[in-house]
DNA sequence: GTTTATGCAAAAGTTTTGCAAACTA
DNA sequence: TAGTTTGCAAAACTTTTGCATAAAC
């Protein structure tokens, strides 16, 4: 994996837990919590600790291999899909959906003298499926 | 205050803590944490509890009097300025700045079948002041 | 008088940290 | 071997909750 090489070139040790977590994230390019990653790997790596998962996720965020999302309340999500995109959260069922908008790739590089390095856009509302359920409920 | 009347009309009791917190928020239209509000009011209301601040902020968010921001890590910010605007977070000093963009008032009402009710846009980068310091540091 | 909110303390949940042991280079 | 990282447990933080008391309507 190219990413492992990159991580090493940035001066970090390629430990077992790091390789395992990174491989899992690359094979599952979606949103994860530290706990969900830990759960997913605990069969294969029985003594992987949650603290290590947290520390690794922090490292991978710092180095730009994943993105942290703060769309859900009081819990960080880690997105292993780093292509620029937005997110939608359904306030009924809690589902999060990727939103692909062309203009998100070219955001302003400066606003009021502030250097802009990244943008996160979160949409909130009611998803397709919940709308259907709701409309059915209304119609009879 | 008109807002107090509104709160009452929505079926909520106008208790002392609620009036105090709401008045404070209206007089300080910026970003707060539950703790900062509690600190600001503890001289005037010595036995105001932090739990009540949290409960009141949740109520006010639900009723649309304030907006919750999740731009900082692992701590909710409450914005008493409800006019549609975005936010910028400096990754050096941690300062948060309001960003006023015209297009933020008319976001799409539907994306891929999902009903969009609200949008939060967070910009990340380096603020004016930190850029100056950094550029000075580079120049000698 | 009935209902709802408060304050306190305890609980719950997420994330971080200290440190001896284990691992990587 | 030197320097990092790990796992564990404990700590740190933010936020929520249960319940008797107090306040609002």
Number of separate domains in chain A: 2
Confidence at residue A103, expressed as pLDDT on a 0 to 100 scale: 67
Q: Which of B35-44, B97-106, B108-117 has the lowest mean pLDDT?
A: B97-106
Average predicted confidence (pLDDT) for chain B:
93
- Domain of residue A76, CATH code: 1.10.10.10
Q: Write the pLDDT tens digit of every residue in A30-46.
A: 999 999 999 999 999 99
- A32 and A95: one domain? no
Confidence at residue A138, expressed as pLDDT on a 0 to 100 scale: 63
- B14 and B73: one domain? yes
Q: What is the mean pLDDT of residues B12-38?
A: 97
Which protein residues, judged by their CB atom, are less than 7 Å from any atom of strand D?
Answer: A 12-13, 15-18, 45, 47-49, 51-52, 55-56, 73-74; B 8, 13-16, 33-35, 50-51, 54-55, 58, 74-76
Q: Is the CB of B12 under 7 A from strand C?
A: yes
Residue B49 scores a pLDDT above 70: yes
- A72 and A93: one domain? no
Q: Write the pLDDT tens digit of every residue in A103-130.
A: 667 899 999 999 999 999 999 999 999 9
Confidence at residue B74, expressed as pLDDT on a 0 to 100 scale: 84
Write out the two tokens for A63.
């180095």
Measured between beta carbons, the chain A residues lying within 8 angstroms of B111 are 88, 99, 123
Give the mutation candidate from A125, A130, A133 for the B interface (greatest B CB count, under 10 A): A125
Classify burial at B107, counting beta carbons within 10 Å of its beta carbon; exposed 0-12, middle 13-18, buried 19 or more. middle
- B90 and B61: one domain? no
Choose the final residue of a domain: B81, B107, B126: B81
- B37 and B77: one domain? yes
Q: How many CA atoms, within 13 angstroms, populate the side-chain half-sphere of residue B84?
A: 12
Nearest CA in chain B to A111: B99
Q: How far is the CA of A84 from the C1' of C24 (A)?
A: 34
- Smallest CA–C1' separation from B16: which nucleotide? D23
Q: CB–CB of A107 and B115 under 8 A?
A: no
Measured between beta carbons, the chain B residues lying within 8 angstroms of A126 are 114-115, 117
Nucleotides of C under 7 A from a protein CB: 4-10, 13-18, 23-25
List for chain B the helix, strand, coil content (%; round to 5).
40, 25, 35
- B77 and B90: one domain? no
- B62 and B89: one domain? no
Q: Write the pLDDT tens digit of every residue in B7-18.
A: 999 999 999 999
Domain range for A26 is: 1-81
- A51 and A17: one domain? yes
- B1 and B28: one domain? yes
- A110 and A136: one domain? yes
Q: CB–CB of A121 and B116 under 8 A?
A: no
Closest among A72, A90, A62 to A31, alpha carbons compared: A72
Write out the two tokens for A53.
């998962």
- A87 and A134: one domain? yes
pTM over 0.85: yes
d(CA B16, CA B22): 10
Write out the two tokens for A140.
């009879």
- B7 and B73: one domain? yes
Q: Across the strands, what pairs with B67?
A: B79
């Amino acid at each position: 994996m190219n990413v492992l090489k990159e991580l090493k070139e940035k001066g970090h040790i390629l430990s077992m837990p790091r390789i395992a977590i990174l491989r899992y994230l690359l094979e599952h390019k979606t949103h994860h919590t530290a706990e969900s990653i830990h759960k997913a790997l605990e069969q294969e790596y029985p003594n992987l600790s949650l603290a290590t998962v947290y520390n690794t996720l922090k490292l991978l965020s710092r180095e730009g291999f994943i993105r942290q999302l703060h769309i859900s309340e009081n819990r960080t999500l880690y997105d292993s899909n780093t292509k620029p995109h937005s997110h939608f959260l359904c306030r009924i069922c809690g589902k999060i959906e990727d939103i692909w908008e062309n203009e998100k790739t070219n955001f302003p590089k400066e606003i009021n003298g502030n250097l802009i390095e990244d943008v996160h856009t979160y949409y909130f509302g009611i998803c397709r499926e919940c709308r259907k359920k709701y409309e059915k409920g209304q119609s009879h």
